[in-house]
Structure 1
Amino acid sequence: MHGNPPSHPWIHRLSRTNPPGRIRLFCFPYAGGGASTFRGWAELLPDEIDVHAIQPPGREDRLFEDPVDTLQATLDAVVPELLEHSKEPFALFGHSLGAIVCWEAARVLREEHDVEPMHMFLSGCRALPAVHDGRRDLHTLPEAELIEELRLMNGTPEEILQNADFMRMLLPTIRADYAMLSRYSFLSCKPPGAPVTVFGGANDPGVGMHHLQQWSELVEGELDSMVLPGDHFFLHASRQPLLAEMAKRLLQPGREAGRDSSHRSL
């Protein structure tokens, strides 16, 4: 690993229970998102699940730090922090760009440290390496076009999109995240040892059912997949059913989640 250590921790604990829950859940946000993406999750999940969020620089309480625009720099920073928690059972969740970072962090943990999560949840993301198929390089767009793309994605409140001063602060981080996505190159690797569940939105225009099913080529056994109501940001609109499905898999250790079902919808 290389690179400078982060000036602030990348992992924020969101649960307030003491002692912590027996299972750590580490959550990776989508492009432009931060730890607040997962606000309220700790209150909706059972106390046995201790919720932690990844907080990259350039947003929220790290707003005035330079954003990171390469996956390698992200892994160099976040994997050592994940290792500090790896003595306890843990799971990983990632949405969209966060799913890619989640997958690659799990690969590094497995290949370089012989560490596996108990479960991996990949949400709102095309199966690798098809993540780039038909995608524009959003980080190179002029400001007005990039803002319009964000509006079409329906993940940013209109009042924020229309706040020119606020958007000027946010856009460098958003561009950095999309640059990371554009530069990402999939590395072929052995299937993860952990069960994998993939989630998708029923009305996500960019991630269809066929994209989700292609994850079956990267995991062992039958793919555990579920489609929930909502668009690309269904993790907000369908938060309660999403968390219920995750809790069910994490709290039934005798059940081989990810091995016993093909596809379900709610």
Structure 2
Amino acid sequence: MHGNAPTRPWIHRLSKTNPPGSIRLFCFPYAGGGASTFRGWAELLPDEIDVHAIQPPGREDRLFEDPVDTLQATLDAVVPELLEYSKEPFALFGHSLGAIVCWEAARVLREEHNLEPARVFLSGCRALPAVHDGRRDLHTLPEAELIEELRLMNGTPEEILRNADFMRMLLPAVRADYAMLSRYSFLPCKPPGAPVTVFGGASDPGVGMNHLQQWSELIEGELDSVVLPGDHFFLHASREPLLAEMAKRLVGPVQASGRESSLGSL
């Protein structure tokens, strides 16, 4: 569609400050989302958390780039950028499709680069072996049906859904993301060494408490789960309690880990 458009970075820094001892938080958006999903997070989180958002092509300031519709192409692009930040402590957050990309990025960092994040946050996502159970392949739907599916998910404002010109620009990225989801096949792998927190929405019709509990079958180390008010897009409706839960798992433990690491190098 826009094959000649220049390629922009996948990682956008949202924080204005970066004090000594801070931890970088890399956030992966849901299907159709971009870096703006995490607008305001840096202002609500402690200064010690340096917020970065993943910006896939085909949306927002990368609108005129072709969207990516395979997980492998996404990992091939984003992991090298993550490696540029790997000398400092970092954590990963992903919501819905972003949680799948987050999990797989952590796997590549672990298996190919011997790197572990300080913590992994998986939000609004079924345990991966069950990710396709009962789901439709949305990327092949006619435009009107796809828009109606987005309306039912309750994550896109009605004024945007009714704006034909805007939807014409947005839908290629949405289709690409849903194609990525439909093609995803979970392969068993060594469990993450990092602690994992799973978030869910109390009223999420597609990700129930049983789905969150199934993450324990994939994770052998530290795992905890938090259920917050809201549907699938509780990360917006319950943004402040979500960020509070993340902050208390990052700031203290990571600072302590950093001090131990520094002492060990003396």
Query: Considering the TM-score relative to the shorter chain, is it more than 0.5?
Result: yes
Could you tell me how far apart the structure 2 residues matched to 1:169 and 1:161 are?
Answer: 12
Give the direction of change, closer, same or farther, for the CA distance of 1:236–1:254 in structure 2 (3 Å limit).
closer
Letter in 2 for 1:86: S
Could you tell me how far apart the structure 2 residues matched to 1:254 and 1:31 are?
Answer: 30
How far 1:223 sits from its partner (Å)?
A: 3.1
How far 1:18 sits from its partner (Å)?
A: 4.6
Higher relative contact order (CA 8 A, sep 6+): 2
**Deviation string, structure 1 residues 201-259 (Cα, Å, up to 9, x no partner):** 00000000000000001111463001000000000000000000000000221899xxx
Give the direction of change, closer, same or farther, for the CA distance of 1:134–1:145 in structure 2 (3 Å limit).
same
Counterpart mapping for 1:155-166 below 5 A: 155-166=155-166
Aligned to 1:218: 218
Letter in 2 for 1:11: I
Give SS of 2:46's match. Answer: coil
Q: Which piece of structure 1 moves more, 185-194 or 18-27?
A: 18-27
Could you tell me how far apart the structure 2 residues matched to 1:235 and 1:84 are?
Answer: 28
Letter in 1 for 2:46: P
With structure 2 as the length reference, what TM-score do the two structures score? Answer: 0.92
Aligned to 1:179: 179
Aligned to 2:85: 85
Identity %: 90
Letter in 1 for 2:102: C
Letter in 2 for 1:56: P
Counterpart mapping for 1:104-119 below 5 A: 104-119=104-119
Counterpart mapping for 1:129-148 below 5 A: 129-148=129-148
Aligned to 2:260: none
Indicate if the aligned counterparts of 1:150 and 1:156 stay in contact, CA closer than 8 A.
yes
Aligned to 1:261: none
Letter in 2 for 1:182: S
Could you tell me how far apart the structure 1 residues matched to 2:182 and 2:237 are?
Answer: 27
Letter in 1 for 2:119: H
Letter in 2 for 1:14: L
Letter in 1 for 2:165: D
Indicate if the aligned counterparts of 2:195 and 2:221 stay in contact, CA closer than 8 A.
no
Indicate if the aligned counterparts of 1:228 and 1:242 stay in contact, CA closer than 8 A.
yes
Indicate if the aligned counterparts of 2:14 and 2:39 stay in contact, CA closer than 8 A.
yes
Indicate if the aligned counterparts of 2:23 and 2:254 stay in contact, CA closer than 8 A.
no
Could you tell me how far apart the structure 2 residues matched to 1:155 and 1:54 are?
Answer: 19
Could you tell me how far apart the structure 2 residues matched to 1:173 and 1:249 are?
Answer: 33
Could you tell me how far apart the structure 2 residues matched to 1:51 and 1:222 are?
Answer: 23
Indicate if the aligned counterparts of 2:21 and 2:255 stay in contact, CA closer than 8 A.
no
Aligned to 1:262: none
With structure 1 as the length reference, what TM-score do the two structures score? Answer: 0.92
Give SS of 2:212's match. Answer: helix
- Which of the pair is proportionally richer in helix? 2
**Number of residues paired by the alignment?**
251
Confirm or deny that 1:192 pairs with 2:192: yes
Give SS of 1:198's match. Answer: strand
Query: Please, which runs of 5 or more residues in structure 2 have no aligned partner?
Result: 1-5, 257-266
Aligned to 1:62: 62
Give SS of 2:103's match. Answer: helix
Could you tell me how far apart the structure 2 residues matched to 1:20 and 1:32 are?
Answer: 34
Give SS of 1:132's match. Answer: coil
Aligned to 2:41: 41
Aligned to 1:31: 31
Give the direction of change, closer, same or farther, for the CA distance of 1:115–1:167 in structure 2 (3 Å limit).
same
Indicate if the aligned counterparts of 1:20 and 1:50 stay in contact, CA closer than 8 A.
no
Letter in 1 for 2:7: S
Give SS of 2:253's match. Answer: coil
Aligned to 2:227: 227
Could you tell me how far apart the structure 1 residues matched to 2:44 and 2:220 are?
Answer: 30
